[in-house]
Structure 1
Amino acid sequence: MVNLRPALATCAAVLALLAAAPAQAARCGGDFNTFISSMSAEASQAGISQDVIAQALGGVSPDPAVLAFDRRQRGTFNKTFEQYVSTRVGAGRVRTGKAMMLRHASLLSRIEQRFGVPPQILVAIWGLESDFGKGDMGKLPVFRVLATMAHDCRRTELFQGELLAALKIVQRGDLPLRDMVGAYAGELGQTQFLPSSYIKYGVDFDGNGHVDLRHSVPDVLASTANLLKTNGWRAGGSYEEGTSNFEAMREWNRALVYRKTIAYFADQLAQ
């Protein structure tokens, strides 16, 4: 995790000057610190406290490795379905998935009753994204990742929005700053939600007052189901390619091969 503390006082002073000015969209490219100052002012006008902004963005620096990875990873889903599924859905993962379905049977049943998404779909996504919460959820500081991607001009509007959403997660108290670590596009938690999806679809299913997608299995699985339901999932329907439920998974991942892998894995778990 990047050490954010040394620059907190400086960042807070800049924010005090900027808070009264009308927020304008930060311009990508150019000086990185100027960009962060503009984003800080925008966050302040969006209701994020200066303390959260200072702690999250104070001293943040660009990460060239994030940009390099982003340029490389576009070929990830160029494999055939057979090639891709063979690396993601092995016998061991299927066995573990079935054990998880048994362990969380009551929880999954309650989620299905509320959202209409069957257990095997949720467990398949959970397994693919983080090996059921036991695998790699990413180790990169989310604010450094998102600031880097937002400053890059290729998709600046998208990632400026994600950066503001990440600040809202901390502002709401869903995750502390120390838990804002994730993958190369700022994905968070056991089913790898982008921060905007975290805000939009997150569900406090364990009833503790916070949406915790890193540690709370009820929140993780219910939020995943809520994303699918909100995007058109129909209870009791097929999820094979060509169905409306298969299309509902586009919000999860637009890559055809990935959605086919979810459906295949779910079929294995349902047997």
Structure 2
Amino acid sequence: MPLKFARPVTLAFAFTALCSSIASAQTAPPACGGDLNAFLANVKAEAVAAGVPASAADKALAGAQIDQKVLARDRAQGVFRQTFLEFSQRTVSQARLDIGRQKLKQLAPVFERAEKEFGVPAGVITAFWAMETDFGAVQGDFNTRNALVTLAHDCRRPELFRPQLMALIQMVQHGDLDPNTNTGAWAGEIGQVQMLPKDITAYGIDGDGDGHINVKTSAPDAILTAAAFIKGLGFRAGEPWLQEVEVPAELPWEKSGLGNEIPASEWFKLGVKPRDGDTKFGNLNAALVLPQGRKGPAFLAYPNFGIYLHWNQSFIYTTSAAYFATRLAGAPTYLKGNPEPNLDEASMKALQTKLEARGHDVGKIDGILGSGTRTAVQKEQKRLGLPADGWPDAALLQAL
């Protein structure tokens, strides 16, 4: 009857293993925080266990330091108070459009390859290139290795940044990054389109044929790597991402907003009209996006718009980047309309406080129109019989 002995023996082994695990945990360096040298030794051990030569790990980590400026930026609250009209008119400038079109001509063979191999149009890549670094001119001056060591060592979000540090060690191993001189954004993004090391190691393309992937100094490498990454985010070749439309005076506004997608053909039946007259994508689901309400610019956001939200979660940034790409593809300047004046910071905080009191989750009371506040605004507009376009104005504040 050996099965009678199986369970006790298994438990004995499990108990022994547990004791061993506890002992190891008590003596092993912590995954974050604590002595920096112990932390770096722990990182090196993990890299070596993953197959990285010890010499490469040593080269990547030698001289690493905690950057207090990185911690300060990480702790700072991101403030994004500009409206879509303000932000898009500043970022999608005529000068940037002119430079972007020059780049499209100068690097035409590279962009053709990007679209052929990955299905990503040149304008989509170029818009990110422009908005992230002004075509490589402003890439950040934080030492990338130190930034990632700092954020991985810090115990606030180590699960996000330790894998990025591991990827950076791989880049050093392959000769694609000098840990002592490479600079970028405070959160570890690198290069002309500001990508994290893990994405570069996963999607990197040697576009100039020099045997290395250098998204910092090589435009072909940056362009093709961005194209591969964008495809990896789910971009669907041959489909639109954003289309400007004109809206009628009356519409079921509560159907507008991201997350309320219906076939574009249904929007057309409701009186929504593409400015370019193109309705051939009516079979695709689309959301009616009204960045500043029904009286401001209006767009249909198609499934490809989702890649913008993966790239950057700010609604204003993503809509501006997507609009930029349509301009490079030949679309005209949007119609500004005449939107209701936006609430100032104090009034927005007052509105958020009232929304929260009614049970809505608006996040932090910070005076910023985030996705939670937009959703709550739309629900309260509908409840009060106001046009539910998600744009907070004085009438809503007064009604509440």
Superposition pairs for residues 205-224 of structure 1, below 5 Å?
205-224=207-226
- Number of positions where the alignment pairs a residue of Structure 1 with one of Structure 2: 248
| Cα displacement (A) at 1:189 | 0.7
**2:207 counterpart letter in structure 1:** F
Give the one of 39, 50, 58 matched to 2:62: 58
Residue 124 in 1 paired to residue 130 in 2? Answer: no
Superposition pairs for residues 66-145 of structure 1, below 5 Å?
66-72=70-76, 74-75=78-79, 77-133=80-136, 135-145=137-147
Distance 2:71 2:104 in 1: 37
| Cα displacement (A) at 1:136 | 1.4
| Cα displacement (A) at 1:56 | 2.3
Alignment deviations for residues 197-251 of structure 1 (CA, whole Å, 9 cap, x no partner): 1111111233332212112211111111111111211111111153111102233
Distance 1:261 1:252 in 2: 13
Give the one of 258, 265, 271 matched to 2:317: 258
Give the one of 153, 156, 179 matched to 2:155: 153
Alignment deviations for residues 7-50 of structure 1 (CA, whole Å, 9 cap, x no partner): xxxxxxxxxxxxxx99x784222222221221121122122222
Match of 1:247 in 2: 306
Match of 1:46 in 2: 50
Alignment deviations for residues 56-99 of structure 1 (CA, whole Å, 9 cap, x no partner): 22232211110111122522x45322232233221111111111
Match of 2:34 in 1: 30
Instruction: Give the TM-score normalised by the residue count of structure 2.
Output: 0.58
Q: Report if the CA contact (8 A) 2:120-2:227 is conserved.
A: yes
Distance 1:116 1:205 in 2: 16
**2:143 counterpart letter in structure 1:** P
Unaligned runs of 5+ in 2: 1-23, 243-299, 331-400
Question: Which has the larger share of helix?
Answer: 1
| Cα displacement (A) at 1:139 | 1.7
Return the index of the structure with the highest Cα Rg.
2
Identity %: 39
**1:56 counterpart letter in structure 2:** A
Residue 227 in 1 paired to residue 218 in 2? Answer: no
The answer to which structure, 1 or 2, has the higher relative contact order (CA under 8 A, 6+ apart) is 1
Q: Report if the CA contact (8 A) 1:126-1:190 is conserved.
A: yes
Match of 2:174 in 1: 172
Unaligned runs of 5+ in 1: 1-20
Q: CA RMSD in A?
A: 2.1
Distance 2:197 2:303 in 1: 26
Q: Report if the CA contact (8 A) 2:214-2:222 is conserved.
A: yes
Instruction: Give the TM-score normalised by the residue count of structure 1.
Output: 0.85
Distance 2:52 2:141 in 1: 25
Match of 1:7 in 2: none
| Cα displacement (A) at 1:259 | 1.4
